[in-house]
């Protein structure tokens, strides 16, 4: 039998009611939140596409795991189940559990980075870069130029630019580069994958120079899916096989389990070298917890072990996950809405500069579009533009990033195709009268990571 279209590989057993608010209620809620979707109450939101982090729905098997989680302080059965799951699915022998991804990034940065070191990466992630710099390192972006171009249709926009990497090695010397941080399905580039060939080549260059390759494998599953779909030689491999091959070109990985792994909290650092793992565990007890729980409860580890196996048990899960994101993206493309292409693995990114050309960049078009979409429809997204980019430390001016975007991130297994239809219709309707959206100005601007807590008012 040929497969026609995909459907969700599950049926729904428990539901959480959501309420459609009135426009008047949303106008009030937006004003109260200073036109910042991070400051809104979830009760006031209809379809919540703020983030796909920690918002996944667990399966009945994962929920059952919560009941039998072993809460022993030391040597929990659930810890050993997690060790086995990570070894089977990612292929790493040494597991260091943490409370979430940034805990793993902290430990890794502290054991490997010395003052004055350089840490290349294929674009940055906010917390990853923070911990590298906090440990005394300097982050160097070595992603290909196409990643910064919203119109490029490159199938692997997450690729490492091997020339940029080689140039850095030539310039500062390999002994100043403890490791390269290679992110799978690059979040800040819009959920864009790197190819297996590129990862393999990166690994070869690094081995030749004695530089470790540490994956940010937070979204390795979604990357594996794109490799299967787009890279020659991988069409007949399962995502489980591709996952193992991805990890084989690395010395370890940090993972935020709030994404691929289908749980609401958790993370880990995985390593091959037992000596590095020993050093990591020595720090772990000070910052996270004992080496057999890190920052997680026994039940968290049990649900996580099950989530890790579940995500690769068949290809149907990731097919439906990425398929739903593509479904929303394609509906918007068909209606002529300018979005980042190719559609990424975890969300759809609206090009706010193209949609609201009448709003100057210093009046925050993406922030204004995010607020307007909420007011008109109750759909909550987030700004990824000048507000997120912050100010230049030297000049005090705004950073003006090339990409001025509204991100609609799709939680895993939470919403249906009908929610995607309503979301697409909401965006399309807003675009029928874009001139009704006005720019914003700050009424409160925090010193750092300002997008989380900034407040705004409309410019009349
Ligand atoms: C979310 C995320 C992190 C940070 O993980 P937390 O669990 O939020 O601490 C790191 N890297 C990537 C790519 C992420 O998406």
Domains of the chain: 23-52+315-458 (3.90.1150.10), 60-311 (3.40.640.10)
Average pLDDT over residues 55-60: 98
44: CA distance to ligand 1 center in Å? 26
Q: Is residue 2 very low, low, confident or very high in pLDDT (cuts 50, 70, 90)?
A: low
Q: Judge if the beta carbon of residue 185 lies within 6 A of ligand 1.
A: no
Q: In Å, what is the CA distance from 280 to each residue of 66, 73, 121, 355? A: 27, 19, 21, 47
Pick the residue whose CA is nearest to atom 10 on ligand 1.
Answer: 101
Pick the residue whose CA is nearest to atom 12 on ligand 1.
Answer: 218
Mutate to test the pocket of ligand 1, among 125, 253, 257, 264 (most ligand atoms within 8 A of CB): 125
Q: Is the pLDDT of residue 392 over 90?
A: no
71: CA distance to ligand 1 center in Å? 26
Mutate to test the pocket of ligand 1, among 54, 187, 262 (most ligand atoms within 8 A of CB): 187
402: CA distance to ligand 1 center in Å? 23
Q: Atom of ligand 1 at shortest distance to CA of 267?
A: 7
Sheet with 382-384, edge to edge strand ranges: 347-351, 405-409, 382-384
Pick the residue whose CA is nearest to atom 2 on ligand 1.
Answer: 256
Mean per-residue pLDDT over the chain, rounded: 96
Q: Is residue 1 very low, low, confident or very high in pLDDT (cuts 50, 70, 90)?
A: low
Pick the residue whose CA is nearest to atom 8 on ligand 1.
Answer: 101
Mutate to test the pocket of ligand 1, among 98, 102, 103, 186 (most ligand atoms within 8 A of CB): 102
Place of tokens 């300018």: 338
Catalytic positions: 73, 125-126, 216, 259, 384, 451
Average pLDDT over residues 191-215: 98
Q: Judge if the beta carbon of residue 259 lies within 6 A of ligand 1.
A: yes
Residues 6+ apart with CB under 8 A from 36: 367, 371, 451, 453, 454, 455, 456
Q: Judge if the beta carbon of residue 370 lies within 6 A of ligand 1.
A: no
Q: What is the pLDDT of residues 333-362, one digit of tens each?
A: 999 999 999 999 999 999 999 999 999 999
Q: Judge if the beta carbon of residue 106 lies within 6 A of ligand 1.
A: no
Q: What are phi and psi of 458, to 5 degrees?
A: -70, 145
Q: What is the pLDDT of residue 189?
A: 86
- DSSP structural state of residue 330: H
Q: Which of helix, strand or coil describes residue 440? A: strand
Q: Which of helix, strand or coil describes residue 282? A: helix
Q: Is residue 148 very low, low, confident or very high in pLDDT (cuts 50, 70, 90)?
A: confident
Environment class of residue 450 by beta-carbon count within 10 Å: exposed (0-12), middle (13-18) or buried (19+)? middle
Q: What is the pTM of this model?
A: 0.95
Q: What is the pLDDT of residue 188?
A: 84
- What whole-number distance in Å separates Cα of residue 91 and Cα of residue 243? 9
Query: Which is more confident, 413 or 124?
Result: 413
């Amino acid at each position: 039998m040929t497969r026609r279209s995909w459907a969700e590989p599950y049926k729904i057993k428990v539901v959480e009611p959501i309420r459609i608010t009135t426009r008047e209620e949303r106008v009030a809620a937006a004003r109260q939140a200073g036109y910042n979707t991070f400051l809104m109450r979830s009760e006031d939101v209809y379809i919540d596409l703020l983030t796909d982090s920690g918002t996944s729905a667990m399966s009945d098997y994962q929920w059952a795991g919560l009941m039998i989680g072993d809460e022993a302080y030391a040597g929990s059965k659930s810890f050993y189940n997690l060790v086995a799951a990570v070894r089977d699915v990612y292929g790493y022998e040494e597991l260091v559990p943490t409370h979430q991804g940034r805990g793993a990034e902290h430990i890794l940065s502290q054991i490997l980075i010395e003052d004055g070191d350089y840490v290349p990466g294929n674009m940055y992630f906010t917390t990853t870069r923070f911990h590298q710099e906090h440990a005394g390192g300097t982050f160097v972006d070595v992603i290909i130029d196409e990643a910064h171009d919203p119109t490029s249709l490159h199938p692997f926009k997450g690729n490492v630019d091997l020339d940029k990497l080689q140039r850095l090695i030539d310039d500062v010397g390999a002994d100043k580069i403890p490791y390269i941080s290679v992110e799978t399905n690059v979040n800040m580039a819009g959920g864009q994958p790197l190819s297996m060939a590129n990862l393999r080549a990166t690994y070869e260059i690094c081995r030749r120079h004695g530089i470790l390759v540490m994956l940010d494998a937070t979204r390795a599953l979604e990357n594996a899916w794109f490799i299967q779909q787009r890279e020659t030689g991988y069409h007949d491999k399962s995502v489980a096989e591709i996952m193992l091959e991805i990890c084989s070109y690395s010395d370890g990985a940090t993972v935020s389990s709030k994404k691929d792994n289908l749980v609401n909290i958790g993370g880990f650092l995985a390593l091959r070298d037992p000596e590095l793992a020993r050093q990591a565990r020595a720090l772990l007890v000070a910052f996270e917890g004992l080496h057999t729980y890190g920052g997680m409860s026994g039940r968290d580890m049990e649900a996580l072990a099950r989530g890790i196996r579940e995500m690769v048990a068949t290809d149907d899960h990731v097919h439906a996950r990425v398929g739903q994101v593509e479904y929303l993206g394609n509906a918007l493309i068909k209606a002529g809405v300018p979005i980042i292409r190719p559609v990424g693995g975890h969300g759809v990114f609206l090009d706010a500069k193209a949609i609201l050309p009448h709003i100057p960049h210093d009046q925050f078009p993406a922030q204004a579009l995010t607020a307007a979409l909420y007011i008109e429809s109750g759909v909550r997204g987030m700004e990824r533009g000048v507000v997120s980019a912050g100010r230049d430390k030297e000049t005090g001016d705004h950073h003006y990033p090339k990409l001025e975007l509204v991100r609609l991130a799709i939680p895993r297994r939470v919403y249906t195709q009908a929610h995607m239809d309503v979301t697409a219709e909401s965006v399309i309707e807003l675009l029928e009268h874009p001139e009704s959206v006005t720019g914003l100005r700050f009424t409160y601007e925090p010193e750092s990571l300002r997008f989380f807590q900034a407040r705004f008012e409309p410019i009349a």
